[in-house]
Structure 1
Amino acid sequence: MVVNFNLESPLNVSSVHENAHGETGVISFSSGHMRAMLDRFPEVIQMDCTHQTNQYNYQLLTMEAVKEYNNGTNLRTLLREKDVCEVVATLHDVKPGVREVGSFLATLQVKSQGQGKTIEWRVDAEFVPDTVRFRLLESVVDSALEQLRGGLAKNEQIELDSDDKAAAGAYRYVAAIAKFGQFTRDQVEAMKWLWNLQATCRDAVICCSWLHREVRAAHAPPSPCAGAFTELLENWPYNELRGFGFDLTYSDLYCFRDSAWLNDDAIKAFAVVLANYKNNVAITAQGHGASTHAFVLLPVNFGGTHWGCLVVDQHIKQVKTYDSKNGKRNKQRLKKIASEIIAADSTTASYTTVEVAE
């Protein structure tokens, strides 16, 4: 029901609110027609899934839903009636913050009519595309691009003009989706870029939630988390962060959150921050017993070229070492680190070291 409501119009907004137990509490709906008729006081229809009416909570949820929608109002006005390729180009130029572009993308229309339909690519230099103001489902976009790269564009060679840029119009690939429509390669790739941007904005919000929930609780007030929270949400995800000595963007930092792998740039940036302290400052972190975790992962960087790791397995009392390149010198270094880990704690004295290939 919620998905169908969102697909009906790009101006329809819905949000699902969970209670403290993680159960769906209230679903809020706000249609474009409502706001057109009541522009000063946008109406929101709410469904109480707990069957426990609470007017005060309804009012709070209404205000929050309207506030969330209004974050993307300027972009909706600017990009109204534009083709997806123009939308991508404009976002590159304007560089809106995560909060604003995330709100815009949440209400950018998605059409599902292409799902399950056959897709046929062809080369048509004379094709004139229609203006596409919506996105196809991400699964349809992925399927179309995978089909193109494995077929017509498999051995593609990019032609460059005199300015070393890709020559425009050399090939115009067109995807025909049965009983739905035709789209150029540029339009399909623009849709994929918008899906990726929406996922990036979602990661930013999850990162900020982690900052607010976990990091803020570990600091006595005033906490620096509030400033970091604002910095992450008000900046374009691909803005460059200076002072680290290498290319780093805000999006590289969104992996600092629960249940997420750190990327190489995030780890490298953290190492740069630690290096600033050198030997002048002692940093003491609150200790956490290794016994509270079934597995402890320790990434190891080899000469700035690639990564290996050690895994402490509490169940079978082993320290497993892994090097993707299987280098003799690197394996020796990993064994040495494993021996130091075992010798450092009496509870791990009975552990053994094992090399693993995967």
Structure 2
Amino acid sequence: MDSNGQIPEIDCVYIAGIGTFSREQIEAMAYLANVKRSCEEEVTFTKWLAQDAASAIRAAQQSPLQSMADTIARAYPHDTISIDGNDYHYAMLYRLKTDQWANDALLLAFCARLFRTGTGVRVVGVEAASASKKKKTMSKKLRQRSKNYSLKRMYYSFL
């Protein structure tokens, strides 16, 4: 009952044999289910880091990999990763879904990481995707920037 003595309307869902639930309760249950799924993905990811990835790298790189795996294991899935902004979350690391587009933050973080690790990768730029199927090439500005580097360019079109 509110201050005027009226009972506010509440959206409820009735599930036969279980009970009646408000919108807030259902949203809380959905949130918990998402956190549970993220935590399960985190466990799978850190196991992969410790077993498969560790066996594929040199012994000198084992310690940094273990440190990174420990940091990821201690983090909450929705904590931000301190890179260049607050758009990166630990849950982004756990898996890339094939049926979804990776957002710009994830792509930029991946490119920045490749550049910083000294793998010989040069990031020319990230071009916004278009829903149009007419344009199948890079923009002129990005093409010019890529010519300034002595790289063999490969362009994949997902449209």
Task: Note the 1:1-358 alignment, pairs <5 A.
Answer: 126=7, 171-222=9-60, 223=62, 224-255=64-95, 260-261=97-98, 263-264=102-103, 265-276=105-116, 281=118, 283=119, 301-302=126-127, 305-306=128-129, 324-328=131-135, 331-333=136-138
* CA shift for structure 1 position 333: 3.0
Q: Distance in 2 between matches of 1:218 and 1:356?
A: 30
**Aligned CA distance change for structure 1 residues 356 and 205 (closer, same or farther; 3 Å):** closer
- Structure 1 unaligned runs (5+)? 1-124, 127-168, 286-299, 307-322, 342-354
Q: Distance in 2 between matches of 1:246 and 1:236?
A: 14
Q: Distance in 2 between matches of 1:221 and 1:271?
A: 25
Q: Determine the structure 2 residue equivalent to 1:288.
A: none
* CA shift for structure 1 position 243: 2.5
Identity of aligned residues (%): 21
- Matched residue pairs, number? 136
Q: What whole-Å deviation, never above 9, does each CA across 1:219-260 have from its counterpart, x for those lacking one? A: 22251221122111111111111232342111111126xxx5
Q: TM-score, normalised by structure 1?
A: 0.32
Q: Distance in 2 between matches of 1:327 and 1:270?
A: 28
* CA shift for structure 1 position 173: 0.8
Q: Distance in 2 between matches of 1:356 and 1:243?
A: 28
Paired residue secondary structure (1:333) = coil
**Aligned CA distance change for structure 1 residues 301 and 327 (closer, same or farther; 3 Å):** farther
Q: What residue identity is the alignment partner of 2:52?
A: E
* CA shift for structure 1 position 216: 0.7
- Contact kept, 8 Å, 2:42 with 2:73, in 1: the verdict is yes
Q: Distance in 2 between matches of 1:301 and 1:206?
A: 30
Q: By percentage of residues, which structure has more strand? A: 1
**Aligned CA distance change for structure 1 residues 253 and 356 (closer, same or farther; 3 Å):** closer
> Relative contact order: is structure 1 or structure 2 higher (C-alpha 8 Å, sep ≥ 6)?
2
Q: What residue identity is the alignment partner of 1:197?
A: V
- Structure 2 unaligned runs (5+)? 1-5, 144-152
Q: TM-score, normalised by structure 2?
A: 0.66
- Contact kept, 8 Å, 2:80 with 2:86, in 1: the verdict is no
Q: Distance in 1 between matches of 2:74 and 2:158?
A: 44
Paired residue secondary structure (1:213) = helix
Q: Tell me how large the CA RMSD over aligned residues is.
A: 3.5
Moved more, 189-198 or 246-255: 246-255
- Contact kept, 8 Å, 1:207 with 1:254, in 2: the verdict is yes
- Contact kept, 8 Å, 1:255 with 1:263, in 2: the verdict is no
- Contact kept, 8 Å, 1:252 with 1:263, in 2: the verdict is no
Q: What residue identity is the alignment partner of 1:255?
A: R
**Aligned CA distance change for structure 1 residues 229 and 220 (closer, same or farther; 3 Å):** same
Q: Determine the structure 1 residue equivalent to 2:149.
A: none
**Aligned CA distance change for structure 1 residues 270 and 179 (closer, same or farther; 3 Å):** closer
Paired residue secondary structure (2:87) = coil
